[in-house]
């Protein structure tokens, strides 16, 4: 059994992501759940502990640490070896940005889910104010700049850990809607204002700068064009300040 303190130290997910996923699922009727891209298995264990029948899948099964759950070796870029309408729930946490074909992944999720089945998917929020400013200054999105220097991955873990297909909210919403999903909940794990980068004594100043820039963007958007549903989402506090984007969707 891996305790919460050990999970926080060892987890490859951003802080608060697992807690948010558990919160989104804890009141759902329990059923069969696929953890696609299960990693070390800490979230699989937490969901099993609250009553879900968890099936784990990952290409690198060597790092899976939960003996009570079998982790099946699966390349998530390819077809899954499960029959149609096999799962009640699927979660895919901080995985889609590592895959070559997100459209194929979402189509497979739709195929494997029962009607009205639920999907929870998370990915880095490349539309928060911190990421937008870094893109403006550097010309590349957060989480991708460092990958340019890694010409040849030294092992499977490093290869799988690369962010090769970063997806913003608009693109991910489009993929989901065009593959049979309706988004129920848009959530995030934590605010970038609470952990600005840089030296400790500069962090309050950085947080103020980020907050001010976000409000300038909102004001300019209001002056340039009238509000519409898409623009409203892009200027929402969740997308402007959230670190990790977490979506809960239902199969039509």
Domain CATH for 21:
3.40.50.150
pTM tops 0.95: no
**Residue 229 located in a structural domain:** no
Q: How far from chain centre, in Å, is Cα 227?
A: 27
Q: Is residue 92 assigned to a domain? A: yes
Q: pLDDT higher for 197 or 85?
A: 85
User: Is the pLDDT confidence value at 134 over 70?
Assistant: yes
Burial 223-244 (b: 16+ CB within 10 A, else e): eeeeeeeeeeebbbebbbbbbb
Domain that holds residue 14: 4-127+139-191+243-251
pLDDT at 164: 80
The answer to whether residue 200 sits within a structural domain is no
Query: Is residue 26 in a domain?
Result: yes
- Whether 93 is covered by a domain: the verdict is yes
181, part of any domain: yes
How would DSSP label each residue in 181-198?
EEEEEEEES-BGGGS--S
Total domain count, the chain: 1
Flag whether 236 is in a domain: no
Residue 137 has pLDDT above 90, yes or no: no
């Amino acid at each position: 059994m891996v305790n919460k303190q050990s999970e926080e130290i060892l987890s490859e997910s951003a802080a608060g992501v697992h807690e948010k996923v558990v919160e989104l699922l804890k009141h759902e009727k329990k059923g069969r759940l696929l953890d696609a891209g299960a990693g070390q298995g800490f979230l699989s264990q937490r969901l099993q502990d609250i009553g879900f029948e968890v099936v784990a899948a990952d290409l690198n099964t060597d790092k899976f640490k939960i003996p009570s759950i079998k982790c099946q070796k699966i390349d998530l870029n390819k077809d899954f070896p499960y029959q149609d309408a096999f799962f009640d729930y699927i979660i895919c946490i901080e995985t889609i940005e590592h895959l070559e074909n997100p459209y194929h992944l979402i189509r497979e999720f739709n195929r494997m889910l029962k009607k009205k089945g639920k999907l929870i998917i998370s990915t880095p929020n490349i539309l928060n104010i911190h990421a937008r400013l870094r893109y403006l200054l550097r010309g590349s999105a957060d989480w991708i700049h460092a990958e340019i220097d890694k010409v040849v991955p030294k092992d499977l873990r490093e290869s799988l850990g690369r962010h090769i297909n970063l997806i913003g909210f608009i693109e991910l919403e489009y993929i989901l809607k065009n593959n049979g999903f309706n988004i129920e909940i848009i959530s995030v794990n934590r605010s970038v204002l609470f952990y600005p980068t840089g030296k400790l004594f500069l962090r309050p100043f950085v947080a103020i700068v980020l907050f001010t820039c976000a409000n300038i963007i909102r004001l300019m958007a209001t002056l340039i064009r009238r509000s519409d549903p898409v623009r409203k989402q892009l200027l929402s506090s969740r997308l402007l300040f959230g670190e990790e984007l977490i979506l809960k969707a239902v199969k039509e």
